[in-house]
Amino acid sequence: MVSLDRFAVFRAVVESGSFTAAAAQLNQARAAVSFNIKQLETELGVTLLTRTTRRVELTDAGERFYARCLRVLEEAESAIDDARSEHGGMHGVLRVTSTVEYGTMVVAPALHEFMQRHPALRVRLETHASQVDLVRERVDVAIRLGRLEQFQDLPYRGACLATYEVRPVIAPSLLAAAGLSRIDSPDVLANLPQLGHTRLERIATWTLADRDGNPHAFQPGAKPRVVVDNASVLRVLARQGSGVALLPEWLVRDDLASGALVDALPDYRFPPQAVYALYPSTPHVPQKVRAWVDFMKAYLA
């Protein structure tokens, strides 16, 4: 019978791209990694990898085997975690990914409390501006933010943890420079300098709701002066008076309270955004994943 250890070595070689990198990742000798791959290919009767001077590449058979290899290892790791959890709580590693800003402001404080409840569980938190492949990157749960419809067609399981508001914010200095003390309509706001986020570039028009629930269109009159891929950078630019920025309420709450930023359109509301927990769609959801998702729902409530 083929050893699961060789499955793990094969996965490490594929994901790292070389025998040397896999050996460092696994804390093994390169010769041991090479031997395990050769033995695995012998036992299976197929060539899984082609070797070049710089890296290794999957063969067609290797591609098919790699996909199944991931599922087998996932099931094995889940079974081990569940078996261990019957005695003394959850063990193993919980791998979580989020954006830098949400990870700093929300996920990190939540993890601190979660780890107090499960001291035997180790956590690996990675922050990314881009969305990662949960299966290939071996991520247990991705905390992602955006419009509800963004999460409907993804190849993962998901749970909506909470919703939040986004607010157009402006520095008092920019408001004064425009000769305004308050902005009363989306049309006035549209003619002020704008700041943009790469994730929102495709949205040309927003449908806003006034205090009575009536819809209004908001379409900036010109392209943003600056476009960035990080909400924290956008916040800094907005505080300096570079333009109007659309930012999550949880990120600018302190700025609004201190007066460093003001709500640029207080009588209108943008569509609500969602916080989603996404995890690989497997027949068996590990207990650590279920526990973390349930905890986050309660924490954000």
Give residue limits of the domains in the chain.
Answer: 2-84, 90-161+272-298, 165-270
- Helix or strand run (H / E) with residue 79: helix 60-85
Residue 125: pLDDT over 90: yes
Check residue 85 and give its pLDDT: 57
- Same fold: 90-161+272-298 with 165-270: yes
CATH topology assigned to domain 2-84: Arc Repressor Mutant, subunit A (1.10.10)
**How much is the average pLDDT of 153-158?**
78
pTM above 0.75, yes or no: no
Mean pLDDT of the chain: 87
- Range from 136-140, 167-171, 185-189 carrying the lowest mean pLDDT: 136-140
Structure tokens at 161: 């943890």
Q: Say how far apart CA 142 and CA 149 lie, in whole Å.
A: 17
Categorize the per-residue pLDDT at 115 as very low, low, confident or very high, splitting at 50, 70 and 90. Answer: very high
User: Does domain 90-161+272-298 correspond to CATH entry 3.50.50.60?
Assistant: no
Structure tokens at 15: 């994901």
Reduced to 3 states (helix: H, G, I; strand: E, B; else coil), residue 160 is strand
* Higher pLDDT, residue 47 or 153: 47
Q: Domain 165-270: which CATH class?
A: alpha beta
pLDDT > 70 fraction of the chain, expressed in percent and rounded: 93
Q: Tell me the per-residue pLDDT of 230-267, one tens digit each, with 9 for 90 and over.
A: 899 999 999 999 999 999 999 999 999 999 999 999 99
Residue 88: pLDDT over 50: no
Check residue 268 and give its pLDDT: 93
* Higher pLDDT, residue 211 or 221: 211
* Higher pLDDT, residue 41 or 138: 41
Listed in sequence order, the residues at least 6 apart from 189 whose beta carbon sits closer than 8 Å to its beta carbon are: 168, 183, 218, 244, 264, 265
Check residue 87 and give its pLDDT: 46
